[in-house]
Structure 1
Amino acid sequence: MAVALASVDHSFNFRFPTFCCSSKPPTTSYRPAVILPGLGNNSGDYHKLELTLKEYGVASVVAKVSRLDWLRNAAGLVDPNYWRGTLTPRPVLDWYLKRVDEAVQEAKQLTQGGTLSLIGHSAGGWLARVYMEEFGVSQISLLLTLGTPHLPPPKGMSGVIDQTRGLLDYVEKNCSKAVYTPQLKYVCIAGRYIQGARLFGNSNVNANAAVPIEDDLQISEVAVVKDMNNSTPNSPTFRARFIGQGYKQVCGQADVWGDGVVPEASAHLEGALNVTLDGVYHSPVGSDDVSRPWYGSPAVVEQWVYHLLS
């Protein structure tokens, strides 16, 4: 599957080389990576991703998180800011940031004085930005996010509730803006697994068109991989309507493309190198490398691993 990239001013065109997994040991070792689990996931969900990266010569450390750990977030319920929708990462997410720092310190032992990459899946992507803001970026040369909802949901829209209770607003206002540079690269991967639908009526979105992004959310570079075999049904299925309601809570719109959880437009970040991959599901839980591959499936990793090797 070819991936074409075009910059906003159309002055550059990029094409990623194709890499193939091999049973032979890699001849080159690249900077190590720290994997940040998404909401509800545990470290074990990323074991296969670790093995896949190892085949490319990329050693990785997964932040130690269990499913039960996420119950710690319930502490936010006693914070008045939760009910106001103005919640901040600390102290509710102190435990997660500590786990990330422990993983970073472990990965530093593998860098031999070099830098490392952060790979944030889902909420792990914006939590990586919080970590970078508070702990510094001197040892980090790449932030790569997989299906991360970077943008806070729109305000004042009927039926839309900010599920982060203000956390994404905090990130947008307080974390450094993404700037893709040779010293620190920001790469955001979005998936186009299923198009949502409105709860009532039909969707008018063209199935083979990229999700439109408003002018104030324009991205620096976009790679869109289209599947011309996909088509929008005349009558959306219950599944599409159900998923569409999830998309609406994230971006304010139901009939958009996404990875089944996070809309495509929300997974992109202004200033980053933004890439969309077709047919990619959001989570390792419930995924299948053949019929429902997720961002960490070997065939999908093959399409973004280039960023870790450069």
Structure 2
Amino acid sequence: MSRPVVIMGGWLSSPADYFGMARVLASPPYNRIVYVVDFSRLAWARLRDPDFGPALDALAATVRIALEETGADKVDLIGHSAGGRIARAYLSDEPYQGVRYAGHEVVASLTTLGTAHATSEIWVKQFADWLEARYPGAAFPHVKYRAVAGRSVRGRRFGNPEEMIAYRSYEVSFGDGNLVGDGIVPTAACYLAGADNLILEGARHAPYNAPATWYGARDVVPLWFED
């Protein structure tokens, strides 16, 4: 039996943002049972560094449901954007704010999509520092890690709207707007030591402005998802 797939969304996302990707993974040739973590835009907006416990709790609950309903012993986990960092923390053995998640025991693979593993974002600094200090890179050798990055938009202070948005995002979060990335996260920031690092030319960050070319688009999923 194929393992169920669990998708953890990104910052200020809605579960509905991932239904299209879920349909792709549930269809041939993959035919997976897919669960999207029910964590709303409002729930994301309420998070304050370093308390990302509510997101971790929601992910843990979804994994439990996936295992119970399918009878599988492990899941394949996908984390988009900030959800990739949440997913990495979920794997950890050490308690986070008093809760031990130990997701590595029930996760066969973790794929991160446009996740800034290297970041200077002030609103996640404490959480990111905790994660990097205790579980850097592909921390668990029995979990298959893949880090996917897009290379599609160079930030420009004065360019088209997409280039200017990219410039601002790269500059505010990573200190330099003149970088190349997926339009929100620079390509280089998505690198995860010890993982299978994959760069997708033309891939963009999110479905709201690039429904046909973002990581979860029908024609993009086959470039990174391994059945």
Q: TM-score, normalised by structure 2?
A: 0.87
| C-alpha separation in 1, matches of 2:45 and 2:176 | 29
- Give 1:187-198 correspondences, 5 Å limit: 187-197=146-156
Alignment match of 1:148 (pick from 111, 115, 121) = 115
Secondary structure of 2:110's counterpart equals strand
Match for 2:186: what amino acid? P
| C-alpha separation in 1, matches of 2:164 and 2:123 | 19
TM superposition shift of 1:251: 2.8
Aligned length: 216
> Bigger shift: 31-40 or 249-258?
249-258
Secondary structure of 1:247's counterpart equals helix
Does the CA contact (< 8 Å) of 2:12 and 2:45 recur in 1?
A: no
Residue number in structure 2 paired with 1:257: 180
The higher relative CO (CA closer than 8 Å, separation ≥ 6) is in: 1
TM superposition shift of 1:194: 0.5
TM superposition shift of 1:113: 4.1
Q: Where do 5+ consecutive residues of structure 2 fail to align?
A: 93-99
What per-residue deviation string (whole Å, max 9, x for no partner) do you get for residues 239-263 of structure 1?
A: 3244223112333222221111000
RMSD, matched Cα = 1.9
Q: Where do 5+ consecutive residues of structure 1 fail to align?
A: 1-28, 77-86, 154-160, 200-235
What per-residue deviation string (whole Å, max 9, x for no partner) do you get for residues 164-206 of structure 1?
A: 243222221122531584x311100001121113x4xxxxxxx
Given the superposition, is the C-alpha separation of residues 238 and 195 from structure 1 closer, same or farther in structure 2, using an over 3 Å criterion?
same
- Give 1:1-310 correspondences, 5 Å limit: 29-55=1-27, 56-73=30-47, 76=48, 87-88=49-50, 92-133=51-92, 134-136=100-102, 137-153=104-120, 162-178=122-138, 181=141, 183-197=142-156, 199=157, 237-239=159-161, 240-289=163-212, 293-306=213-226, 309=227
Secondary structure of 1:141's counterpart equals strand
Secondary structure of 1:299's counterpart equals coil
Match for 1:98: what amino acid? D
Secondary structure of 1:98's counterpart equals helix
| C-alpha separation in 2, matches of 1:124 and 1:146 | 9
What per-residue deviation string (whole Å, max 9, x for no partner) do you get for residues 201-241 of structure 1?
A: xxxxxxxxxxxxxxxxxxxxxxxxxxxxxxxxxxx515324
Percent identity between the two aligned chains: 31
Between Structure 1 and Structure 2, whose CA radius of gyration is higher?
1
Match for 1:287: what amino acid? A
| C-alpha separation in 2, matches of 1:99 and 1:180 | 22
